[in-house]
């Protein structure tokens, strides 16, 4: 009974806002240059609408990130190998890390905005715990499995990825290659 379906304009605006925010973030200028007012203007809505719908800036970024990550998440939960269940652990971990890396590469600015947002880091995002738990279980009972899972995830953090590509000039292929070799050496 505590559920009331939202009005139609509300959900429509939600989509519009996502699209606008996505475009602004993607538009290679720095991540945190984009203000809430910018997003509101680009979406053609009032600032109040943004805050009512998402609570605060962090909420908006988190919602957008979750929406973009969703396909990958469901591919992992109920998809075909090598991402989905039923893949041998070692192989699946490699696939997960590679997929995560590609996601960060493709959504660099968004991921950066999320991971830099003051007081959150990746830790505290809903799905972080899921990813960690999954990898940790795939690692089996090796020593320090828990920490190893964290370390593997830390190896694909958005700001590291950005640094390696934008500052160090690594190509996508090189990065994937190195990550893969590193993962192999850990497993």
Partner DNA sequence: CGAAGATACGGACCGCCGGTCCGTTTTGCA
Partner DNA sequence: TGCAAAACGGACCGGCGGTCCGTATCTTCG
The full length of the chain comes to 187
Structure tokens, 182: 């590193």
Residue 173 near its own copies by CB under 8 A: no
Residue selected from 27, 52, 91, 171 as contacting DNA according to rule CB under 7 A: 52
CB 161 within 8 A of CB 105: yes
> Could you tell me which stretch among 23-31, 42-50, 78-86, 89-97 binds DNA (CB under 7 A)?
42-50
Residue with tokens 């075909």: 80
Residue among 12, 13, 34, 167 nearest 110 (CA): 34
Instruction: Decide whether 34 or 100 has the Cβ nearer to DNA.
Output: 34
Residues 25 and 34: beta-carbon distance below 8 Å: yes
Tell me: does residue 19 bind its own copies (CB under 8 A).
Answer: no
Contacts 24+ apart (CB under 8 A), 138-147: 138/89, 138/92, 138/93, 139/89, 139/93, 140/89
**Is residue 165 close enough to count as binding its own copies by CB under 8 A?**
no
- Residues near DNA (CB under 7 A): 4-10, 13, 35-37, 44-49, 51-53, 56-58
- Residues near its own copies (CB under 8 A): 30, 32, 116, 118-119, 121, 123-124, 142-144, 146-148, 150-151, 154-155, 157, 159-160, 163-164, 167, 175, 177-179, 181-182, 185-186
């Amino acid at each position: 009974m505590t559920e009331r379906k939202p009005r139609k304009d509300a959900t429509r605006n939600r989509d519009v806002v996502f699209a606008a925010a996505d475009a602004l973030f993607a538009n290679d200028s720095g991540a945190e240059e984009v203000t809430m007012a910018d997003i509101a203007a680009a979406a053609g809505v009032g600032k109040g609408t943004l805050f009512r719908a998402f609570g605060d800036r962090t909420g908006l970024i988190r919602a957008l990130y979750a929406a973009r990550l969703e396909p990958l998440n469901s591919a992992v939960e109920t998809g075909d190998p090598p991402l989905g269940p039923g893949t041998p652990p070692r192989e699946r971990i490699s696939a997960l890390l590679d997929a995560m890396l590609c996601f960060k590469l493709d959504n660099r600015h968004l991921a950066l905005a999320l991971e830099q947002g003051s007081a959150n880091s990746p830790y505290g995002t809903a799905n972080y715990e899921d990813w960690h738990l999954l990898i940790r279980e795939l690692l089996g009972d090796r020593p320090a499995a828990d920490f190893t899972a964290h370390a593997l995830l830390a190896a694909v953090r958005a700001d590291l990825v950005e640094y390696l590509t934008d500052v160090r000039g690594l190509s996508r292929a090189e990065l994937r290659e190195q990550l893969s070799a590193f993962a192999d050496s850990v497993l």
